[in-house]
Amino acid sequence: MIKMSNIQKSFGGKPVLSDISFDVKEKEIFGLLGPSGAGKTTIINILTNQLSQDSGSKEVRALPRETGIMLDIGGLYPHLNCLENLNLYSQIYGLPKEAPLEVLETVGLADSAKKTVATLSRGMSQRLALARAILYKPRLLFLDEPTSALDPGTSKGVCRLLKKLREAGATIFLTTHNMDEALKLCDRIALLYNGEIVEQGNPNEICERYNAVRTVPDLESVFLQLTGVEL
């Protein structure tokens, strides 16, 4: 579904991505893990055509109409309520009238349908942004740290939702710095540090490769071994 080959990117002469190569298979959840500033958002921006690479090639086998994107909570209209925000996008895509309410129920915001975006907490705004991304049931989802502002209970709910979307046929590419979440959620991962991929593969197999299996597999231990940096 996605392929990046030897991608290079610099800003102001400073390299931010170096020789990035990976592929994402259809109907899997692929996680890009690393600390803030590692280059995760830059990779998503290149894949979604918001930035162009300096060299290398990329391939995304999904049409724009088949792609959902959640990069942050930007694009929500603060003076409209949750339902009005989704109704706007629903009309653009010609969806059934019940679609916005159904997706609000899916992300746990049905009781907040009439609340204006300006009054929502950061976590609620993030769930609304996710609702907008999945409104028209895309084949491919790009999610930039989808659970970063959520409490543990809501994060688990979002993870369950993402698994259901994958089971329904969606391919999901997400970034995160939550190693435990990646272990439970992702089929495969890539570890990114200073613009370079230092390891990739099945998360449990990576842990076993670096003898990081204690009571539970420990990706943070792997990352420390590879980079010398604690997350």
- Which pLDDT value is given to residue 72? 75
DSSP label of 218 = -
pLDDT of residue 29: 97
159 DSSP 8-state letter? H
Closest CA to 22 of 39, 5, 34: 5
Give the confidence band of 217 by pLDDT, cuts at 50, 70, 90. low
170-184, 185-199, 202-216: which range is least confident on average?
Answer: 202-216
What pLDDT does 153 receive? 86
Write down all domains in the chain, each with its CATH number in brackets. Answer: 1-48+146-231 (3.40.50.300), 63-138 (3.40.50.300)
pLDDT at 211 over 60: yes
What's the rounded Cα separation, in Å, for the pair 73 and 14?
A: 28
pLDDT at 73 over 80: no
Most confident of 21-35, 64-78, 144-158: 21-35
Higher pLDDT residue, 173 or 122?
173
pLDDT tens for 159-178 read 999 999 999 999 999 998 88
- Span 206-219, average pLDDT: 74
